[in-house]
Amino acid sequence: MATNQQVSRFWSWRPDAAPARTAVERVYLDVSSDIVGGTLAGGTWVTEGEVAERLDVSRTPVREAFLVLEAQGLLRLYPKKGAIVTTPDAAGNQHLRQVRIMLESRAVEMQAGSAGREPGLVGELLALIGAQRDALSSGDDLAFARADHQFHARVVAASGNPIIDDFYAQLGPRLARLTCLTVQKAGELQRFVDEHTRLAELFRTADHRAYEQLLRAHVTGN
């Protein structure tokens, strides 16, 4: 049986993610992307047989992938019947935002005091901001949300702490879905680009206190 760690490490919701190497990974990546992007909305009923037929695999890898998706909070399983895509609620989304702020702020603080700061990271963040600008110009909300999620995930990964990495990877799909929902409901996406640009500059100058303050306003919209 596939474990969360074995499968979720392939999940990064980015175009250059490692290709699936097993049937379980292929099912997982396909279904998780559909849930995160909104193709499979909350409350949608999915079955092993339906997914197995669509992806031309047996039911066994579908069952294993469904178990991982349930552990990550994207599916609720009903034995011998199928699964329902979970529906995010206001309280759950608020809790996710709080954890995101905590992990990302801590990662920036750790980088600020580290002698081994990643010299190329700011360039990566600016490239992701550029991807957001391109998506904004073309009206591609999904690409915009993808770059938005990866911006924050990359900052967290800079902590160099494998425990933080594992925890964030576990929350990754739910955080990405929240990002998609936020982008879809936002009236003015340019604000996200402007705030990411300021966050990247605060990261560059190692001002972790100002970073946390702006991040909190950025995530909560206040």
- pLDDT in tens for each of the 222 residues of the chain? 444 444 444 455 554 555 667 898 889 889 998 999 899 999 999 999 999 999 999 999 999 999 999 988 999 999 888 999 999 999 999 999 999 999 999 989 888 766 556 668 889 999 999 999 999 999 999 899 999 999 999 899 888 888 888 888 888 899 999 999 999 888 789 999 999 999 999 999 889 999 999 999 999 876
Class of domain 90-220: mainly alpha
- The pLDDT value given to residue 220: 85
129 close to 196: Cβ distance less than 8 angstroms: yes
Fold of 4-85: Arc Repressor Mutant, subunit A (1.10.10)
Going by DSSP bridges, is the β-strand pair 75-78/45-46 parallel, antiparallel, or unpaired? Answer: unpaired
Q: What's the pTM value of the predicted model, to 2 decimals? A: 0.85
Residue 9 has a pLDDT of 46
pLDDT of res. 48: 94
Domains of the chain, by residue range, sit at 4-85, 90-220
Pairing mode, strands 75-78 and 82-85 = antiparallel
- Please name the amino acid found at residue 197: T
| Residues sharing a CB contact under 8 Å with residue 221, sequence separation 6 or more, in sequence order | none
Beta carbons of 7 and 65 less than 8 angstroms apart: yes
